[in-house]
Amino acid sequence: MLLTLDIGNTNITIGAFDGDDLVASWRLSTDSRRLTDEYALQLRELLPLKGVAIGDVTDAALCSVVPPLTSVFEEVTRSLFSCDPVVVGAGTRTGIRIQYQSPHDVGADRVVDAAAALHYYGGPAIIVDLGTATVFDAVTADGDYLGGAISVGVGLAGDALAANTSMLRRVDLTAPEHAIGKNTSASINSGLVFGFAGLVESMVRRFRDEMEAPDATVVGTGGLVPLIAGQTSIFDVVDPELTLRGLRHIFNLNREPAQTGGAR
């Protein structure tokens, strides 16, 4: 069994694969202050809750945008599962050629999402990741990662409103019934949910124009994608587990003999 770990700024998403099937997943809060033993204990307790025994895990793959936790989880996988994980970074085969001005500036999760979208859904593709940040990525049918855009996340925008105003408060993000809110909570939800749906639609149109790909597949992912996807028809595919599937695909690529070509 393969364990995949997506270490993000807010959450750590973990998936267990039996072959190509994602059989279980978990989410932990990200805390760069936690030690290896603390995370190892959490995993030891969490995995059996969904029927995965520690001894079932034979391999691991991870991507991380929290550098202090990369080495922590490398050690966790070695101590718990007796395996060296595939860590997505420089030198990892992904099938993606990075066309960024500085390739090392592209977050590992963005590369993994691009690889997953291309492999599972085909290209050209536009990936919209609705999480801590709202991230847009563009990849061609030939595997060229063209670049993307980064905006504030829906949740962060709501937190900023509450933190920087005297009269507004945090609200539970829900899909509003109307654009014209009749109370403060409804007004905030309208602005955030409908506003970000409009942001996604506008950015996708711009990406398609610049890519000269009017039929580019739009893949939505991230923890908040169900909230926004319910308010727009712009997504061709909604796959909240895209990064985990991408890690599975990249693990397979790096287990196979090296292929010729310039992909990262």
Q: Which residues are catalytic?
A: 109
**DSSP conformational letter for 94:** -
**CA–CA separation, 252 vs 150, rounded Å?**
29
Beta bridge partner(s), residue 217? 125
**CA–CA separation, 52 vs 63, rounded Å?**
21
Dihedral of CA 225/205/119/30: which sign?
negative
Estimate the crossing angle of helix 108-121 against helix 242-255, to 10 degrees.
Answer: 90
**CA–CA separation, 127 vs 41, rounded Å?**
34
Sequence-distant (≥ 6) Cβ neighbours of residue 239 within 8 angstroms: 116, 120, 219, 220, 221, 245
User: Parallel, antiparallel, or unpaired for β 144-152 and 133-139?
Assistant: antiparallel
Phi-psi region of 101 (alpha: psi -120 to 50; beta: other; left: phi over 0): alpha
H or E segment and range at residue 119: helix 108-121
Tokens of 89: 């970074």
**CA–CA separation, 22 vs 189, rounded Å?**
33
- Residue 201 CB coordination number (10 Å): 16
Q: Residue 242: phi, psi to the nearest 5? A: -55, -45
